[in-house]
């Protein structure tokens, strides 16, 4: 057990099962289609790495990074793109891969931004979803695990850029709002 973790919420097996379920649906939905998988940095990189190794369809990979000013643990609503995609996604099917959707500010901003490039389709895939925290009504097409209002770290998810490398997902001992 890592020092900063109060208790484990989802172990490696539970996470892997969720990733497998999502991969299964994605494989079915994009059979015979070209896909651009876009990871939302930084949090999604571990989930994305595991997910794409379960895909048996044709795809390319790109990344985007957005940031919001304000509080540490919640989006403040004023999102901006700080690292852009490098592929041409015009007329492509896009699958956005996110670690967790909370208020929805980050992802709805990114979806609107990417629509400007005229992709054929955009779908959203998230490993964790906190629908009870939603401010912007955005619904993922693929959601691995739905959780209630709690702050989690590990498996790519950070607190102040730490704890991303923890192989499971846990609740920190500290209060993330302080
Ligand atoms: P949203 O814009 O409020 O939906 O926030 C999405 C982003 O906030 C995610 O991509 C995460 O980086 C971060 N985030 C939200 N909830 C958590 C959490 O419980 N742990 C770690 N990061 C979180
Ligand atoms: Mg984060």
Share of the chain above pLDDT 90, in %: 87
Pocket test for ligand 1, best of 10, 102, 134, 145 (most atoms within 8 A of CB): 102
Among 3, 50, 56, 102, the one annotated catalytic: 102
Residue 158 DSSP label: -
**Do 102 and 135 form a contact (C-beta atoms < 8 A)?**
no
CA of 93 to the centre of ligand 2 (A): 25
- Biggest CA pair distance of the chain: 49
Q: Is 102 a catalytic residue?
A: yes
**Do 70 and 76 form a contact (C-beta atoms < 8 A)?**
yes
User: Percentage helix, strand, coil, to 5, in the chain?
Assistant: 20, 35, 45
Contacts 24+ apart (CB under 8 A), 4-7: 4/153, 4/162, 4/163, 4/172, 4/173, 4/174, 5/153, 5/154, 5/166, 5/170, 5/171, 5/172, 5/173, 6/170, 6/171, 6/172, 6/173, 7/170, 7/171
User: What does the pLDDT look like over 99-153, one tens digit per residue?
Assistant: 999 999 999 999 999 999 999 999 999 999 999 999 999 999 999 999 999 999 9
User: What does the pLDDT look like over 34-79, one tens digit per residue?
Assistant: 899 999 999 999 999 999 999 999 999 999 999 876 555 566 678 9
pLDDT-derived band at 5, boundaries 50, 70, 90: very high
Query: Using N-to-C axis directions, what is the helix angle for 12-29 and 45-52, rounded to 10°?
Result: 60
CA of 171 to the centre of ligand 2 (A): 15
User: Which atom of ligand 1 is nearest to 147's Cα?
Assistant: 19
Tell me the sheet residues that pair with 101.
129
The CATH number assigned to the domain with range 2-172 reads 3.40.50.2020
- Ligand 1: does its nearest atom lie under 6 Å from the Cβ of 103? yes
- Classified as helix, coil or strand, 34 is coil
Closest residue to atom 12 of ligand 1, CA basis: 43
CA of 162 to the centre of ligand 2 (A): 10
- Classified as helix, coil or strand, 134 is coil
């Amino acid at each position: 057990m890592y020092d900063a973790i109060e208790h484990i919420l989802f172990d490696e097996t539970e996470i892997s099962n969720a990733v497998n379920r999502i991969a299964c649906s994605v494989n079915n939905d994009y059979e015979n289609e070209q896909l651009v998988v876009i990871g939302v940095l930084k949090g999604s990189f571990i989930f994305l790495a595991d997910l794409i190794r379960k895909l048996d369809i044709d795809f390319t990979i790109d990344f985007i990074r957005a940031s919001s000013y304000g509080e540490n643990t919640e989006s403040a609503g004023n999102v901006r793109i700080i690292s852009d995609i490098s592929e041409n996604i015009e007329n492509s099917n896009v699958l956005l891969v996110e670690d967790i959707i909370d208020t929805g500010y980050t992802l709805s901003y990114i979806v609107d931004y990417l629509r400007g490039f005229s992709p054929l389709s955009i779908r959203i895939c998230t490993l964790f979803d906190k629908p009870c925290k939603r401010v912007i009504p955005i619904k993922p097409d693929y959601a691995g695990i739905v959780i209630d209002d709690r702050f989690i770290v590990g498996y790519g998810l950070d607190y102040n850029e730490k704890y991303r490398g923890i192989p499971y997902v846990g609740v920190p001992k500290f209060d993330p709002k302080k």
